[in-house]
């Protein structure tokens, strides 16, 4: 049972979109409205910029030959025969031995061929002392030297930046022809979808694609109109698509549904409306179930109908691939092994970390069913159809629009870090990979700071692990002391550690991810007490953060979690302590002088945290 008989290539898809976009007409806009619009004309200058020879400095316009002998000790004295301000007419002719006071931007008077900067002059009534000679042409901006009449200033197709708009203003253009704003109709399809902001019904999910697409359309400077969530019935869909066409939209995008059958439905709608299907299935991962067709508009011009896949990550990826965008890329190293999709070009979302040796590129492996695959990625790596394995090799990362490298804080999650970042006003990317993950990232020279709390066999925190893992070129900065323990719902009859131990197989637990300090503590606890892991319900359910544990217990999804006291308080849950631990910061040595890192440590020392601070908080306690 194969639904996609002949998959089209990405190039075929892009070509259809490109041709369609080329046919969109132009409109004229005021210069104030022109930023980020696409120029629809070649702009040729009809005037020179500047339109006359003008002074580049405040000073005195002179005949340069008069000043050749001037120096600090032997100033040349010239007679000042006038003064020209910017905007004035230069109706003075300067003769030998004369000068004219001139302001920056003012026209150069006849007879002069240079301007002496005011800093090298001293005015004395009707005359001026010149303390430094000037060469011919010095400090003069000649007519047409910036832009010459007849020059092609901007080419059709330019995405107008403030700098481009400056050139348009300089040649006196007030209005420009730009590509018309595209009108895009958005239709969400799917019985399971609910609009964000409305209460979520059982077994429904919130509509995501409408919002990611709307934002992407806005980002491109286009207009959208949302036609609502339509149920999965052909008649409903046909009625809505008809309405979008009556409204004279250029493009209609259907998305939201996840089932493969929905692509067929889009195709059927296109056929029923007398349209043509160009693509039904595309060789791309994610995004195979993509449909592209056209339907005749009211006046006969074709309207593009796009059926995008339902998974948010697939949907947005296909949209971005088809409609292109800014193509900024960086090269980085892919340190792992990854098996790619056969027979399709794969767009693999990745996270980029800037280290001492360049960029390291990590795949984000949540799958296209997860929206956060994209949210937490910096871009993607394109793996060609013929390539099956990506392994320990350089890759090119196509970056998303607004990547921002701040501090890279890896390791264990702690709300203390959130507070420090907020209070210190430090921009950072936090990657919660647990204490061990953070330690390894610092060792590899990728992350800047890792928050770690690792209990060694000897009861000492963190330092034994730095030795065991042979970490180099890093320092350990003392952080704060946290109380770890069980986080328990208040309505349960569990008040002491003994209560828990006696009932350990009766309640639902929520665990932390492998490699997290809390997980190590919990495993050590179980081992010391001789408790069999398999007896613990929920042992394999892993939350990535303390807060997620708190929320799981607070909402009753679990009865007992393991985590820090602060979180138990935050969610008003019972806390049964297991012990105290040191949460410290492992920092790459070469980053210690970094402004943000210094501010981080300074903020750690300064602010109130909901944890106990030892007297040496913020100090380097170990160098490796």
Report 326-355 residues binding its own copies (CB under 8 A). Answer: 326-328, 330
Site for its own copies contains 146 (CB under 8 A): yes
> Residue 563: how many CB atoms within 10 A of its CB?
31
If one asks whether residue 624 binds its own copies (CB under 8 A), the answer comes out as: no
* Binding of residue 534 to its own copies (CB under 8 A): no
Region of 242-250, 309-317, 387-395, 584-592 interacting with its own copies (CB under 8 A): 309-317
Q: Measured between alpha carbons, how far is 366 from 114 in angstroms, rounded to an integer?
A: 67
What are the helix (H) ranges across 28-125? none
For its own copies, the closer of residues 242 and 544 by Cβ is: 544
Specify the residue, 308 or 374, whose C-beta has the smaller distance to its own copies.
374
Work out whether 557 is an interface residue with its own copies (CB under 8 A).
yes
**3-state secondary structure at position 87:** coil
The verdict on 164 binding its own copies (CB under 8 A) reads yes
Binding letters toward its own copies, positions 363-402, x by CB under 8 A: ---xx-xxxx-xx-x---------------------xxxx
Q: E-strand spans in 207-266?
A: 223-230, 251-255
Binding-site member from 10, 13, 17, 48 for its own copies (CB under 8 A) = 48
Q: Is 545 in the site for its own copies (CB under 8 A)?
A: yes
Identify which of residues 56 and 238 has a Cβ nearer to its own copies in the complex.
56
Q: From the list 77, 135, 215, 501, which residue makes contact with its own copies (rule: CB under 8 A)?
A: 215
In the list 338, 405, 469, 622, the residue contacting its own copies (rule: CB under 8 A) is 405
Residue 214's nearest CA partner among 231, 226, 202, 198 is 226
Going by the DSSP 8-state scheme, the letter that residue 118 receives in this structure is G
- In the 3-class helix/strand/coil scheme, how is 158-215 assigned residue by residue? CECCHHHHHHHHHCCCCEEEEECCCEEEEEEECCCEECCCCCCCCCCEECCHHHHHHH
* Residues between 233 and 292 with contacts to its own copies, criterion CB under 8 A: 257-261
Instruction: Single out the residue of 413, 410, 321, 333 nearest to residue 374, CA to CA.
Output: 321
In whole angstroms, how large is the CA radius of gyration of the chain? 34
Alpha carbon 347 to chain centroid, angstroms: 17
Pair type for strands 183-189 and 223-230? parallel
Q: Answer yes or no: are the C-beta atoms of 597 and 591 closer than 8 Å.
A: yes
Of 213, 407, 414, 471, the residue at the interface with its own copies (CB under 8 A) is: 213
Q: Please pick, from the candidates 160, 269, 282, 395, the single residue that binds its own copies as defined by CB under 8 A.
A: 160
- CB closer to its own copies out of 142 and 472: 142
Among 118, 277, 497, 592, binds its own copies (CB under 8 A): 118
Please report how close the Cβ of residue 200 comes to its own copies at its closest, in angstroms: 6
CB of residue 239 to its own copies, shortest distance in Å: 20
Among 29, 35, 238, 463, binds its own copies (CB under 8 A): 35
CA distance 378 to 356: 19
Among 62, 167, 237, 536, interactor with its own copies by CB under 8 A: 167
User: Is 319 or 480 the residue whose CB approaches its own copies more closely?
Assistant: 319
Q: At what angle do helices 234-246 and 261-272 cross, to 10 degrees?
A: 50
Nearer to its own copies, 228 or 369 (CB): 369
Tell me: does residue 230 bind its own copies (CB under 8 A).
no
Q: Which parts of 52-111 interact with its own copies (CB under 8 A)? A: 52, 56, 58, 85-90, 103-107
Residue closer to its own copies, measured from CB, 94 or 466: 94
The token duo for 615 is 């007297």
State the first-to-last Cα distance of the chain, in angstroms, to the nearest integer.
60
Q: Is 304 exposed, middle or buried (0-12, 13-18, 19+ CB in 10 A)?
A: buried
Q: How far is the CB of 376 from its own copies (least distance, A)?
A: 8
Nearer to its own copies, 361 or 421 (CB): 421
Rounded distance between C-alpha atoms, residue 57 and residue 140, angstroms:
8
Query: How far are the Cα atoms of 300, 344, 377, 386, 529 from residue 389, in angstroms, in the given order?
Result: 47, 13, 21, 10, 44
The closest alpha carbon to 310, from 355, 257, 364, belongs to 257
Whichever of 198 and 337 has its CB closer to its own copies, that residue is 198
179 φ, ψ (degrees, to nearest 5): -60, 140
**Within 447-476, which residues bind its own copies (CB under 8 A)?**
none
Chain residues 584-603 in contact with its own copies, contact rule CB under 8 A: none
| Closer residue to its own copies in complex, CB, 503/570 | 570
């Amino acid at each position: 049972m194969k639904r996609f008989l002949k998959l089209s290539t990405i190039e075929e898809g892009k070509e259809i979109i490109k041709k369609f976009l080329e046919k969109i007409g132009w409109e004229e806009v005021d210069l104030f409205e022109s930023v980020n619009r696409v120029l629809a004309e070649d702009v040729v200058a009809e005037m020179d910029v500047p339109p006359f020879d003008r002074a580049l400095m405040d000073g005195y316009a002179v005949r340069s030959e008069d000043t050749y002998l001037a120096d600090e000790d032997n100033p040349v004295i010239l007679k000042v025969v006038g003064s020209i301000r910017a905007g004035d007419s230069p109706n003075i002719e300067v003769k030998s031995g004369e000068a004219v006071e001139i302001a920056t931007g003012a026209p150069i008077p006849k007879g002069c061929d240079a301007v002496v900067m005011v800093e090298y002059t001293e005015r004395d009534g009707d005359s001026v002392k010149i303390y430094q000679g000037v060469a011919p042409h010095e400090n003069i901006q000649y007519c047409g030297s910036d832009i010459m009449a007849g020059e092609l200033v901007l080419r059709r197709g330019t995405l107008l930046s403030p700098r481009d708009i400056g050139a348009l203003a300089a040649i006196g253009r007030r209005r420009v022809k730009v590509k018309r704003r595209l009108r895009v109709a958005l239709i969400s399809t799917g019985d399971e979808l609910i609009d964000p902001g409305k209460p979520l019904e059982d077994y429904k999910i919130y509509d995501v694609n409408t919002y990611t697409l709307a934002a992407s359309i806005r980002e491109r400077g286009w207009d959208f109109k949302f036609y609502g969530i339509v149920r999965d019935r052909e008649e409903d869909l046909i009625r809505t698509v008809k309405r979008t066409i009556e409204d004279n939209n250029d493009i209609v995008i259907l998305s939201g549904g996840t089932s493969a059958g929905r692509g067929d439905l889009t195709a059927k709608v296109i056929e029923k409306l007398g349209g043509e299907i160009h693509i039904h299935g595309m060789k791309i991962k994610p995004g195979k179930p993509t449909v592209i067709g056209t339907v005749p508009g009211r006046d006969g011009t074709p309207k593009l109908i796009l059926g995008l896949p339902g998974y948010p990550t697939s949907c947005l990826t296909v949209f971005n691939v088809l409609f292109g965008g800014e193509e900024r890329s960086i090269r980085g190293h892919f340190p792992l092994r990854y098996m790619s999709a056969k027979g399709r070009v794969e767009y693999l979302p990745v996270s980029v970390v800037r280290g001492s040796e360049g960029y390291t590129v990590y795949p984000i492996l949540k799958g296209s069913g997860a929206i956060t695959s994209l949210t937490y990625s910096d871009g993607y790596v394109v793996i060609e159809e013929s390539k099956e394995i990506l392994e320990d090799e350089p890759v090119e990362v196509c970056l998303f629009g607004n990547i921002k490298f701040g501090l890279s804080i890896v390791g264990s999650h702690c709300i203390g870090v959130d507070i420090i970042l907020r209070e210190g006003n430090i921009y950072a990317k936090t990657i919660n990979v647990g204490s061990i993950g953070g330690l390894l990232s610092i060792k590899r020279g990728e992350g800047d700071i890792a928050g770690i709390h690792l209990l060694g066999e000897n009861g000492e925190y963190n330092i034994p692990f730095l030795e065991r893992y042979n970490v180099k070129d890093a320092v350990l900065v003392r952080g704060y002391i946290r109380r770890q323990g069980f986080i328990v719902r208040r309505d349960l009859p569990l008040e002491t550690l003994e209560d828990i131990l006696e009932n350990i197989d009766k309640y639902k637990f929520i665990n932390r991810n492998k490699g997290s300090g809390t997980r190590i503590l919990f495993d050590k606890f179980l081992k010391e007490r001789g408790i069999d892991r398999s007896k613990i319900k929920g042992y394999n359910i892993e939350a990535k953060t303390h807060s997620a544990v708190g929320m799981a217990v607070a909402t009753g999804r679990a009865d007992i979690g393991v985590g820090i006291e602060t979180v138990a308080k935050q969610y008003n849950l019972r806390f049964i302590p297991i012990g105290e631990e040191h949460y410290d910061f492992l920092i790459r040595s070469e980053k210690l002088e970094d402004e943000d890192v210094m501010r981080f440590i300074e903020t750690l020392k300064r602010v109130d945290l909901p944890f106990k601070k030892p007297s040496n908080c913020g100090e380097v306690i170990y160098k490796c």
